[in-house]
Structure 1
């Protein structure tokens, strides 16, 4: 998941030259004018936005070759200055060799007219890990930055098929960068395009024109910029799309994990649950203009597990590249960016003090191999530290060496939920328990124990942890409860200066208001909410074992809190559209006879019903990206996770597994 940076040579001190491709990134003369002409004007963005000013569908631009971000910055500037435009802008960019953050700052210093946009991008710019990085910039502007091979990323994100309005093909010339102009990639570009989508490129080469035509575009040679006489523009027509499909150029067979198209409706949703999953879900929809009703049985938000005073943010680590390792990394990085942005605009405070995971407390049966981790993760995500170095960061003597998450930290989840809900499109209905959720006249109706209607909408999201099994469409889910007790103790004259979150047998948080939070005990299948003195003792003992001084912590209890985590039978989040169990079992019954059978059919799902539960102890890292994924799915947008990740989280995975096991 590491990424290789662009190898640059600087000409005239600030003009970037690619060592990988042997060429300049842009013209020596008026690169801003050239970019506007070749991409913004050739794709007629201003005129098309004016014509689509009443559209409630975001306008989607995709770029091959993000490079210095010049095209994106100019597009953002035009978007900001346009009075008439669609409801949102979704910019999807692909870059195999991204600039380092330092190089990006250096090159963008050339463009003072774009300084405001450059600074905002630099704050959130990811330059060290591959995959899709969702960046939330202006209120209605999303940048999905895919770092890695464009062909691979497009193939993996086949859920973006038919969603792109305009393409910037900003690669180096075909002789220097032939991969960009291969037929297979251009066919993927065509498949991802809407009818009427446009393409523009500096290149006017005959080979490029022929490849675009073969992929189903109508191509025109037009005036280039400055000394360059010609460039190409192209349009994707419905007739060409039909011709390409009939030739079998791009075909994607549906599977059980293929979701149906998003519903067209009035942009209203019900969310059941006001913990991290529900509140982040409400925020993601509200940012898109949806009116959201959040219903929770407790008197205030974050009253379950999310109500513990301090939560740690760190990345769940794997030893091999897989859809799961990529999801947890992308989720962690997205959460880190979002919490920093909320800290700047709300009462939330994300304390980026780093997290130290003591090596002695790791799973002894599955020890981590640092060499594998080093090959997979960049140092910005995880480092291994000797005891002395770990102790220096923690500002105390630790018992062992540690895995260090430099981007990790902690926050108050109650403040986080309040920050999420502080949006004019969100209404909170506390103290109301939903006992039934039924589909009537194409609306999901949430009712209380007396059958009284609490709310109704075409879209509903179940985000109420283990109570999701209360409702008939989700009663079958293999969820389990895990009792956890967190303990608060006073700070000692030693512990008051603890500088990082320390995770050992227990997690010890830095001092706040003269106390430390210690979390947490772990008791699967236990739903007892009473305080256990034995758990308090074990929490203190486990916390004290992290430190070399025997009296480092004050052992006097101040208070304790018990909450029930929710996990699934495979210990992964359950996020996606809710499947129709009976229909899926019948549709994929062939798997009972042959577990390897290929059933080329999309799954059967309840229309407008979605789920986000079982985040377990990783919710601070996984809830925000899960909510963005669902909001994109609900809103009919390109998704921030690929098809394999989506399938790994899909609630229907349990149905398919049971069929294959003949259950």
Structure 2
């Protein structure tokens, strides 16, 4: 089905200076003060901060992000508490999000100077108004805000994780009954950790009865301001605790983008990581290319690949600005139409209602202006896309991991096995033990399949050749031709010059690969012929559905056909994970893929919809093959 656009909130005020929603004919917070209401109803109603004291992590879910006052109040309380948990997870659903500029305006008017820094960080990270899950990492990554933008009835069933406290906010039940119904109460019960608590400003009978019917014991407490009463509750139903790991030691095999990203995310959670690589240094394979492209994918039906690429692209955008040593440029990217039919398809996609900062349709004249080169056709314009030098990304990730990371290069792993204690052991071809740890992450491209049981991880190596063109200033013999200002894609990709060299790729490896790349270039930019000055081969391991493989590795010996439709129940090889199968989109998949992987290893709330987690599950191929064969 097509993408469903979001409707952003309109900034309105009541005469008393209270933010107001014309859609719901209701105010965003009590007239007695939004911050005071957040403290009294939602923090105190959940016995916070006392309940999170001494915890490794604590997770909160909210219905109705609104102005973000509950989140900011909670964040501030967490920062001020010396007994705070190491990591705070905050999940919030919002159907009508404000745009960043309006949120900044609201905060400037409503909040005191003590919130200025928090508001600025939140507004700077605030995503484009695009439907789906958005994982924002704040406060040096110690605070995780997962925004579910869209309808709560659609998105909360897609949330995977356990919640310790619920903030039941949003507009009043009489104004917005969809946010206070049995379907959502059922989701609260599904997500509730043992002894989870909840709080809400309403004492409506239908809300109280609905919560009690789904396993919550609720009580009335003194309300806030002019509201005489509020509800607080505790989950007394049956639940299974998801406990953090007791031993945070891990081996990551492979020092390209996937391995570096996995190491960085685990190190950020307090893990000690041994990074093993058969090459003599990091980023020596596909991650060693001179430049690559970061852009999303779109489709007429907003399929799984388009949704995953959108989430991954936006997450990468959120994180990349934080690393000064990273070499990248947000120059925009053009995807040129190959024929009239594709041009019509592109135009139809843009009519689905994406924000213009994310996607636009442009004609040949505008495309030429954006590219800085004469183009015969138009296409799609991704204004926030750009180029990255993959080695600088790998270097930045390894630097971020810091002292928690130990790198070992020039090491070839011949086999892996689990010992009696459940630790994974890695051996060389002479049988010498190279490393052991309770968790192993295979991020070593197509070579990962060699170390696993047959058919468990069907990765196909796709050797490609990327050519270098001499086009930029600063070279000894600069080309007199015009220089591309944006990324250009069609059946190939062309980057703007980095250190005077543009990348064009990529054709299948072989003697004819450079000439093939030049032919692809001529099809995109006819008659533009800068000197070809070199290139390199690289393998791009991919999968048959063109999606990556991320998560716990399935135990193929115990898989059954039924698991094809219930991958979350599939048996796993304990402690064995993979981050792999990036194909041509490693720069897009790597950062969110690593955040998903680390969240799975830690047992945290996941940053992606359940449906997308299943779409990248390493066990999907073996389970589907079994289903096709009937067992």
TM-score, normalised via structure 2 length: 0.92
Distance 1:325 1:560 in 2: 30
Q: Which residues of 2 match residues 251-266 of structure 1 at below 5 A?
A: 264-266=245-247
Partner of 2:557: 582
- SS of equivalent residue, structure 2 residue 319: helix
Number of residues paired by the alignment?
615
Q: Which residues of 2 match residues 554-565 of structure 1 at below 5 A?
A: 554-555=530-531, 557-565=532-540
Q: Which residues of 2 match residues 639-650 of structure 1 at below 5 A?
A: 639-650=606-617
**Aligned match for 1:511, one of 497, 502, 506:** 497
Deviations 1:488-545 (CA, angstroms, capped at 9, x unpaired): 121155556421111234322112222222222135xxxx7xxx4x322332332244
Q: Does 1:637 align with 2:604?
A: yes
Deviations 1:456-484 (CA, angstroms, capped at 9, x unpaired): 11111111111112213366432211111
Following superposition, the deviation at residue 600 of structure 1 comes to 11
Distance 2:322 2:388 in 1: 13
Given that 2:337 and 2:346 are in contact with CA atoms closer than 8 Å, whether structure 1 keeps it comes out as no
1:661–1:217 CA distance, 2 compared to 1 (3 A): closer
Given that 1:469 and 1:476 are in contact with CA atoms closer than 8 Å, whether structure 2 keeps it comes out as yes
1:186–1:261 CA distance, 2 compared to 1 (3 A): closer
Following superposition, the deviation at residue 141 of structure 1 comes to 1.2
Partner of 2:389: 412
Q: Does 1:49 align with 2:47?
A: no
Q: Does 1:502 align with 2:482?
A: no
1:339–1:415 CA distance, 2 compared to 1 (3 A): same
- SS of equivalent residue, structure 2 residue 49: helix
1:367–1:285 CA distance, 2 compared to 1 (3 A): farther
- SS of equivalent residue, structure 1 residue 20: coil
Distance 1:643 1:466 in 2: 26
**Aligned match for 2:461, one of 481, 484, 491:** 481
**Aligned match for 2:547, one of 565, 572, 575:** 572
Gaps of 5+ in 2: 472-477
Distance 1:619 1:361 in 2: 27
- SS of equivalent residue, structure 1 residue 517: strand
**Aligned match for 1:27, one of 6, 16, 30:** 30
1:13–1:375 CA distance, 2 compared to 1 (3 A): farther
1:108–1:495 CA distance, 2 compared to 1 (3 A): farther
Given that 1:509 and 1:517 are in contact with CA atoms closer than 8 Å, whether structure 2 keeps it comes out as yes
Given that 2:456 and 2:622 are in contact with CA atoms closer than 8 Å, whether structure 1 keeps it comes out as no
- SS of equivalent residue, structure 1 residue 41: helix
Following superposition, the deviation at residue 581 of structure 1 comes to 1.2
Partner of 1:440: 419
Please tell me the root mean square deviation across aligned C-alpha atoms, in Å.
2.5
Following superposition, the deviation at residue 28 of structure 1 comes to 3.2
- SS of equivalent residue, structure 1 residue 154: helix
Q: Which of 509-518 and 418-427 deviates more?
A: 509-518
1:599–1:406 CA distance, 2 compared to 1 (3 A): closer
**Aligned match for 2:335, one of 357, 367, 373:** 357
Following superposition, the deviation at residue 261 of structure 1 comes to 6.8
Q: Which residues of 2 match residues 255-404 of structure 1 at below 5 A?
A: 264-342=245-323, 346-360=324-338, 368-375=345-352, 377-404=354-381
Following superposition, the deviation at residue 174 of structure 1 comes to 1.3
Given that 2:568 and 2:614 are in contact with CA atoms closer than 8 Å, whether structure 1 keeps it comes out as no
TM-score, normalised via structure 1 length: 0.88
Gaps of 5+ in 1: 246-259
Deviations 1:372-412 (CA, angstroms, capped at 9, x unpaired): 44316433322110011111111222222121111100111
Partner of 2:151: 149
Following superposition, the deviation at residue 113 of structure 1 comes to 2.4
Given that 2:360 and 2:380 are in contact with CA atoms closer than 8 Å, whether structure 1 keeps it comes out as yes
Distance 1:482 1:508 in 2: 19
Partner of 1:166: 165
